[in-house]
Chain A
């Protein structure tokens, strides 16, 4: 404790049992830390998608030429998009499935737009490790469930592009899209 005879110094204890010097140490370290964090963050953040990548706008797809049973591939954000015109048989097959038995339970209606149930638009990106499944082009293997088959690690998707067999955890993702006319959609 500081005696009345000498001047108080930064080493003297306060009534709370701390030294005034402790505050200087903590404040300096905190200030240095507060400086390092934003510098480090800017060095990390430069690797996140840049403005031009984020600005990748929506794309328009014309579906008028796609016959039932056919699919087209398009590229959106560097990823393939599958737009498939389902046949009545494929729609029936998709509806027949017991939803509770699915790994990622979704009805066909959840995966298409009301009134345009014959248009199945999904990303062509396997939800396992991101390969492009086969089945969109003519003559490609469609897998055991008549939808898509991923050749990388053998995931099978059904006619609603739901995961049925293999290592993939989720159904093929449905991107955000809207019909601008009965045969045209805007994706993104």
Chain B
């Protein structure tokens, strides 16, 4: 967002001037991430996670391109070529673990990013497009991660491919044709592995393209902030650089320390041991589960066990699983409260944390075997998941009595500082 007080780009060198008149790329960066982009000054640590997600994607692309130099997408050698990377390729074990653990971390930061947006109402006008583009990125991430997991061609890879493409067979009339088309045959085989490799390479670049739109859409209204109120004056903002570039680098440092700890000391803690068994089309592992970041959606899929309203249980599960994400596209129109941040919505804030607990519990159910009490529990939680968005939020957002909003971001910051230190601390103002 270009507020009137945004700094203007002035090329300082002759080369800079020459460039600015021909391709103003430095000006573009200055206005997007530099001092030309005033940002609310009260952003907390949860606002780091967008940058972390971007870094996670870059790590995946770089390690992924490197792995593709040594991986062979052929069912006869795929599993062995991964072991070849682990044993023979210089540093291959580390790059492979970075890519595998990196996927988990990518989803981890994206989930925090999404819940940040849910809490502070970052999906509300004028940021609906930003929100919806984010959901598109999320869907692309899930498709990419699924196909990447298949490439290893272990037992979980094979049976995951069987089950996830099997979802499409639940669709009436065209279902089986779609499944056959996706697999390139009647069961997961070489044709499947081959095309998944091609698409697993393609989709991250599509994701990257959508991220550019996502960041563009962010820069039109500018960042939301923990108060949820709009920027009113220069006192509410600081220039993005150096204030938030510095803060983001601190967050990134912490993130990379945790990431490295996983890569070096517990690289397999987030994965399934069964994927170290080569794919066997004649035998299914007793307990097949997807990767942890799919568990909540897997629980919703499995929650439907009986046919009703003339629709088979299998199709209900598939519809519900896809609906659980597609529903989020409607969120800006389901939550109609004019107050964005849950800091000023007492009832909605409680419901938010209930929803977080429900989402986590759905994850636990999705990772558990399809037995009681997990099936019953996932049914209750699935019902709540949909009720939260379709019934509870619309009603609460109409009836709730919200707390008074601060007059400005600055006022909220000053009130907080005053409370925290007895009102004596001088307030840091960005140097002009």
Contacts and interface: CB of A to CB of B under 8 A. Distances in A.
A75 B281 contact: yes
Contacts, number: 86
Given A48-B180, A77-B187, A131 B284 contact: yes
Interface in B181-202: 181-182, 184-189, 191, 195
A151 B371 contact: no
B162 interface: yes
Interface string B283-310: 1111110000000000000101101000
Given A73-B282, A129-B162, A152-B163, A78 B189 contact: yes
A21 to B, nearest CB: 37
A2 to B, nearest CB: 49
B284 A132 contact: yes
Contacts of B191: 49-50, 53
Contacts of B371: 154
Given A79-B281, A129-B167, A167 B184 contact: no
Contacts of B282: 73, 75, 80, 124, 132
A169 interface: yes
Contacts of A131: 159, 162-163, 284, 288
B312 interface: yes
A32 interface: no
B33 to A, nearest CB: 38
A153 interface: yes
Contact of A78 (B187, B312, B317): B187
B281 A78 contact: yes
Interface in B263-296: 281-288
A36 interface: no
B186 A77 contact: yes
A128 interface: yes
B191 to A, nearest CB: 6
A49 B281 CA distance: 18
Contact of A48 (B181, B286, B304, B317): B181
A68 interface: no
A37 interface: no
A50 B166 CA distance: 20
B370 interface: yes
Interface in B368-383: 370-371
Given A75-B281, A151-B287, A152-B284, A129 B163 contact: yes
Contacts of B312: 169
A14 to B, nearest CB: 43
Contacts of B124: none
A152 B290 CA distance: 12
Interface string A83-126: 00000000000000000000000000000000000000000110
Nearest to A49: B185
Contacts of A154: 370-371
A1 interface: no
A65 interface: no
B334 to A, nearest CB: 30
A47 interface: yes
Interface string B167-188: 1010000000000111011111
B185 A53 contact: yes
B370 A153 contact: yes
B186 A79 contact: yes
A130 interface: yes
3 shortest A-B CB distances, which residue pairs?
A: A78-B187, A129-B166, A131-B284
12 contacts: A47-B182, A77-B187, A78-B189, A125-B187, A129-B166, A129-B167, A132-B282, A153-B302, A167-B302, A167-B305, A168-B314, A169-B313
Given A50-B191, A131-B284, 9 more contacts: A48-B181, A53-B184, A77-B187, A78-B185, A78-B187, A79-B281, A128-B166, A151-B285, A167-B302
Interface of A: 44, 47-50, 53, 73, 75, 77-80, 124-125, 128-132, 150-154, 166-169
